[in-house]
A = this chain, B = another copy of it.
């Protein structure tokens, strides 16, 4: 029996594979002989309210693990909660550590994105400050793929696969009539265009591909955009735009239609409506029929189209975090290094969590075409291995089966 218990939490926006990382943590901890494996309900925020479960009571056998790998969103629930600086509210840190001590937790795992890595960083720093031997490890997760240091992030491959498949289907649908129609698909990505760029993988010998890809990395020029649409207005077009595209004055395109937009607890603006606004402009300019499609939450929860590579890598990230913590690491995060693209070979390391927290990785400008309105083969080569393979769904009565914590 391993000395000390494990606690694991999930934080930030859900993905199709965040539960696979949870499965990876659970399996590795259990195989490592850990007595209690606790799951925080709703991340660190729930933990502060003493909300946690004993995961061994819920994940009983191999089938439960397989279902967990196929269930989208965060099995344990999530939160959007930013830990204060230690100096601002030391009491909160004391409270968290008191709960961890009570539960005899020695290993703490937090699965999430930028903001969650910030949480992991602060907790490990506080542990150091108070000479606690509790180890804190981050497990990366985000469909946005915007974490620094790591080659890519679990969650991205599945979202990219869903986007690629759906764009292919939308292109088939959009080209069906004998008159031009223009479809603008809005894809998530506040500051980084990784997800929107995944629209490029639709193109192939059985698909015309999208006509334009507009990323937040490039200042969005409405006149240039409309001119390009106008140029091809005799045929149907499908255009992929990021929700986060901004003009060179720094104004979000979605703000141009809606005026002021709300912000969340991290101060992030609520973005939505970009494609709709552009469709309106295109309709006025060209007189063509337009259609706006927003993938919305579908792109982050469509586990029925998950990439097996992504699911397996998410699982590996979870288990490698446990392995590293057992080896004495703390304040670290599991990262991926790509050894080669063809054939695809990937290995994991651990890196200091402060190298990854609060840093955003964007699409390199060399992967964007010089006119700023598409991407080149570099990015499709990068994405392609990440979308390989499918998870055979466990279908019950015609629908994919999930596992739910009640």
Contact = CB atoms under 8 A, between A and B. Distances in A.
Which of A305, A387, A398 has the most chain B CB atoms closer than 10 A to its own CB?
A: A398
Nearest to A296: B293
A71 to B, nearest CB: 7
A297 B298 CA distance: 13
A199 B339 CA distance: 44
A53 to B, nearest CB: 14
A42 interface: yes
Given A46-B178, A207-B404, A399-B201, A71 B298 contact: no
Nearest to A295: B298
Contact of A401 (B206, B296, B393): B206
A11 to B, nearest CB: 10
Contact of A387 (B46, B296, B399): B399
B298 A298 contact: yes
Interface in A68-85: 71-74, 77-80
Contact of A73 (B172, B206, B398): B172
Interface stretch (A121-129, A159-167, A188-196, A323-331): A159-167
A404 B176 CA distance: 11
A169 B389 CA distance: 20
B169 A303 contact: yes
A402 B177 contact: no
A206 B403 contact: yes
A46 to B, nearest CB: 6
Interface string A375-397: 00000000010011110010111
Contacts of A46: 178
A389 B72 CA distance: 21
A199 B72 CA distance: 18
A272 B279 CA distance: 13
Contacts of A20: none
A173 B14 contact: yes
A165 B297 contact: no
Given A398-B164, A403-B206, A79 B177 contact: yes
B77 A178 contact: yes
A300 B170 CA distance: 9
Nearest to A389: B398
A312 to B, nearest CB: 14
A297 to B, nearest CB: 5
A207 B402 contact: yes
Contacts of A165: 304, 399-400
Contacts of A272: 292
B298 A291 contact: no
Contacts of A41: 178
A302 interface: yes
Interface of A: 14, 41-42, 45-46, 71-74, 77-80, 161, 164-166, 168-170, 172-178, 183, 201-202, 204, 206-207, 272, 291-294, 296-298, 300-305, 307, 384, 387-390, 393, 395-404
